[in-house]
Structure 1
Amino acid sequence: MSRPREFDVDRALQQSMEMFWAKGFKSTSYDDLTRTTQVKKQSLYCVFKDKRDLFLKALALYRERSIAMLEELASQEVSPLKKLEAICDSTLYQNDETLRRGCLMVNSALEFGDDDPEVNREVMLMFDQVERILEKIIRDGQKQGLISARQSSKELAVYLNNVLSGAKVMEKSGASREQIATVLRTSFALMISENGR
């Protein structure tokens, strides 16, 4: 009979995600992880093969939570423009702590580049999922004449997705909220049709 787990795996994964988010993959040691989770290294190894496996699962958890939040904003009973505004607003972090940490997915993309196919796949999966959410909202806005149809909904979704990612890099780099808000406002204004003004 297998030995029962001695810790809450979901809680340990959440705590590990927070640690990776704060320090990045390379700067996070196993001592950091065991101290944060209060779980012994051997016990963590029983569930997660190694630090990289734990990191990949933490990235997946971050992606799932981020996408769930965006889907909730996209499902609100408001106009497509209000939905896009809410998503843009959610890009701006609420306090100095979250501002300092930035976005775990963007941080990971910058840390790894294209060196790790599995990390890259997780990053691209999130970007693709965000793009699909944005495209649906934009397509609805175009049908209602609120969003410019000079470009396709796909092209505008790719554009806005990159603007949001860039805003997260700006935050992490120390740009002011005012600078970032100006970028988001300008990008948003370029997408709005005359009817949406």
Structure 2
Amino acid sequence: MARPREFDEAAVLDAAVHCFWSRGYEATSVRDLIESTGLTGASIYNAFGDKRAFYRRALAHYVQESIADRIRRCEGMAPRAAIDAFFAEILKRSLSDKDHKGCMLVNAALEVAPQDTEFKEDVAGVLNQLQSFFLGCVAAGQADGTITTALTADELARHLLGVLMGVRVLARVRPEKEVLEGVINGAFALLDGGVDRAA
């Protein structure tokens, strides 16, 4: 009979997320993870596998606790308000990130996914979830008249995904309120019909 784990898995994953997120995958050593989580190397390996497997679990934990949770909270709102709330939270997180860590998912997309097929699929899957969330909001907003129909719902959803990725990358190197707000407000102007497609 397997012995029950003698640690709080969620707390360990939180610590691993912070460690990987602040240092990046390549620069994080197993020793860093031991110091951050309080586990021994053997305990980490037995519970989570090698560093790559541990990073994959930590990234999935980050996605559930941050991105998926935000989507769930916004899905219950009116469509245009949901988009506003989603980006308001992104702006707040970006501006309050004193270490300029950015988004762990975006960081993984840039650092790990290009060389690792499984991580590429993991990241792409989350980006698809984000695009689907935006698509649902836009389609519903177009139906109730709160979002322009000058562009298709698919076009606007893809644009919002690109804006989100851009804001999170900018937040790492230019975390200035006016810069990030300018990008987001431009996207909102497009949703509100402020840009003529013919132009």
2:121 counterpart of 1:126: no
In the other structure, the counterpart of 1:69 is 70
Equivalences, count: 191
Report the 3-state secondary structure (helix = DSSP H, G, I; strand = E; otherwise coil) of the residue aligned with 1:100. Answer: coil
Compute the displacement of 1:3 (Å): 3.8
Q: How does 1:35-184 map to 2 (within 5 A)?
A: 35-65=35-65, 66-76=67-77, 79-92=78-91, 93=93, 94-97=95-98, 100-184=100-184
Give a deviation string over 1:101-145, Cα, whole Å, max 9, x none: 110000111112421111111111111111111111111110012
What percentage of residue pairs aligned between the two structures are identical? 30
- Once residues 175 and 74 of structure 2 are traced to their aligned partners in structure 1, the CA distance between those partners, rounded to angstroms, is 26
Deviates more, 1:63-72 or 1:34-43: 63-72
Retained in 1: the 8 A contact 2:171–2:180? yes
In the other structure, the counterpart of 1:15 is 15
TM-score (normalizing by structure 1): 0.90
Long gaps (5+) in structure 1:
none
Retained in 1: the 8 A contact 2:21–2:104? yes
Compute the displacement of 1:18 (Å): 1.3
Give the partner amino acid of 2:75.
A
Query: Over the residues paired in the alignment, what is the CA RMSD in angstroms?
Result: 1.6
Give the partner amino acid of 2:11.
R
Compute the displacement of 1:100 (Å): 1.0
Give the partner amino acid of 1:21.
W
Report the 3-state secondary structure (helix = DSSP H, G, I; strand = E; otherwise coil) of the residue aligned with 1:68. Answer: helix
Retained in 2: the 8 A contact 1:171–1:177? no
Compute the displacement of 1:169 (Å): 0.4
Report the 3-state secondary structure (helix = DSSP H, G, I; strand = E; otherwise coil) of the residue aligned with 1:101. Answer: coil
In the other structure, the counterpart of 1:26 is 26
Give a deviation string over 1:42-90, Cα, whole Å, max 9, x none: 01111111010010011111112211212212213xx322211111111
Compute the displacement of 1:177 (Å): 1.6
Retained in 1: the 8 A contact 2:100–2:175? no
- Once residues 104 and 121 of structure 2 are traced to their aligned partners in structure 1, the CA distance between those partners, rounded to angstroms, is 14
Deviates more, 1:55-64 or 1:6-15: 6-15
- Once residues 87 and 19 of structure 1 are traced to their aligned partners in structure 2, the CA distance between those partners, rounded to angstroms, is 26
Retained in 1: the 8 A contact 2:113–2:123? no
Retained in 2: the 8 A contact 1:71–1:133? no
Report the 3-state secondary structure (helix = DSSP H, G, I; strand = E; otherwise coil) of the residue aligned with 1:69. Answer: helix
- Once residues 69 and 166 of structure 1 are traced to their aligned partners in structure 2, the CA distance between those partners, rounded to angstroms, is 18
- Once residues 48 and 96 of structure 1 are traced to their aligned partners in structure 2, the CA distance between those partners, rounded to angstroms, is 28
- Once residues 2 and 81 of structure 1 are traced to their aligned partners in structure 2, the CA distance between those partners, rounded to angstroms, is 50
Give the partner amino acid of 2:7.
F
Long gaps (5+) in structure 2:
195-199
TM-score (normalizing by structure 2): 0.90
